[in-house]
Amino acid sequence: MSTAAVILIRIGLLAVFLGAWEFLPRTGIVNPMLLPPLSLVIDTLFDILGRGDFREAMLVTTAEVLVAFIIAVPLGGAIGVLAAEHAYFGAIFRPMLFYVFSIPKSIFLPMFILAFGIGFEQKVAYATFSTIFIVIMSASAAVESVKADYVLVAQSYGATRAQILRRIYIPSMMPILLETLRISMIFNFTGVMIAEMYASRTGVGHMIANWGENFMLPQLFAGVVVLAVAAMSFNELVRYMEARCSTWRS
């Protein structure tokens, strides 16, 4: 099938989806109280985007997501590289890291509330915690993906340790590292949302939870659209970078 046909079909499916969202509630086939029509959600979207409290909530949520990301990714990356490269550190900590990785992080949320309250710090701490393990695992996998042959060739041409790191490790690991960025943002965003929805005084997650409890479905959907667009934009940005790296990935 040609690329053009695939794109046309995709557009067609999107149109069907959006059309159904508009007309199913309007015709009463779906209860409009549970699924408000698209046009109403869009009106509400512009409405809430103009509201001061929603803008402030977006700023808070963005700050939480960014700070947690900036802590979790380098820290997890460093631990992951250490676990893969340092024999003793790896032997001691890897099993533990794997065990903890398998536990659903949300069950620790009450402890984070007890330790940090329900403010900014708690959101960042919990999101960092729920993100860092996937970063550690992926960074370890990235280091292990570097072929020994590549290093041997570089050594045979007299490469120093720093040169091997810069010229072999970084480019070899780049595809997995970018993938890690993308996936860790999904974990990180989810962590902030869960923490905000569970117990918070502000943030987009908190507002969405509130709207849900008060049966304000148009606002709820508008909030979901905002978050979905933000998440997809980041994802696509990293995917674009991945694609630029992938010229040599076979």
Partner 1 sequence: MQHMAQLSPGREQSQGAAVEVRGLGHIYAGRDGAVPALADIDLTVPAGRFVVIVGPSGCGKTSLLMMLAGLRTQTSGTILVDGRPIATPDPSRVGVVFQEASLYPWLTAVENVEFPLVLKNAPRDERRARAEAMLNLVGLSGFGGRYPHELSGGMKQRVSIARGLVQDPPVLLMDEPFAALDEQTRMTMGHELLRIWSQTSKTVVFITHSLTEAVYLADEVIVMSARPGRILDRVPIDLPRPRTYQMMATDVFGALRERVWHQIRDVP
Write out the residues near partner 1 by the rule CB under 8 A. Answer: 149-150, 152-159, 163, 167-168, 171-172, 174, 245, 247-250
**Rounded Cα–Cα distance for residues 56 and 62 (Å):** 10
Q: How far is the CB of 160 from partner 1 (least distance, A)?
A: 8
Pair of tokens at residue 126: 């919990």
Q: How far is the CB of 152 from partner 1 (least distance, A)?
A: 7
Q: How far is the CB of 135 from partner 1 (least distance, A)?
A: 23
Q: Closer to partner 1 at the Cβ: 46 or 248?
A: 248
**Rounded Cα–Cα distance for residues 50 and 33 (Å):** 24
**Rounded Cα–Cα distance for residues 117 and 109 (Å):** 11
In this structure, are residues 144 and 81 in contact, taking their beta carbons and an 8 Å threshold?
no
Q: Closer to partner 1 at the Cβ: 156 or 233?
A: 156
Q: Closer to partner 1 at the Cβ: 117 or 171?
A: 171
Q: How far is the CB of 116 from partner 1 (least distance, A)?
A: 42
Q: Establish how many alpha carbons lie within 13 A of residue 84's alpha carbon, considering only the half-sphere containing its beta carbon.
A: 20
Q: How far is the CB of 61 from partner 1 (least distance, A)?
A: 37
Pair of tokens at residue 100: 């903890």
Tokens 């993308």 belong to 182
Q: How far is the CB of 139 from partner 1 (least distance, A)?
A: 19
Q: Please, what's the largest Cα pairwise distance for the chain?
A: 74
Q: Closer to partner 1 at the Cβ: 81 or 159?
A: 159
Q: Closer to partner 1 at the Cβ: 108 or 150?
A: 150
Contacts of 120 (CB under 8 A, 6+ apart): 60, 63, 64
**Rounded Cα–Cα distance for residues 141 and 177 (Å):** 9
Q: Closer to partner 1 at the Cβ: 136 or 173?
A: 173
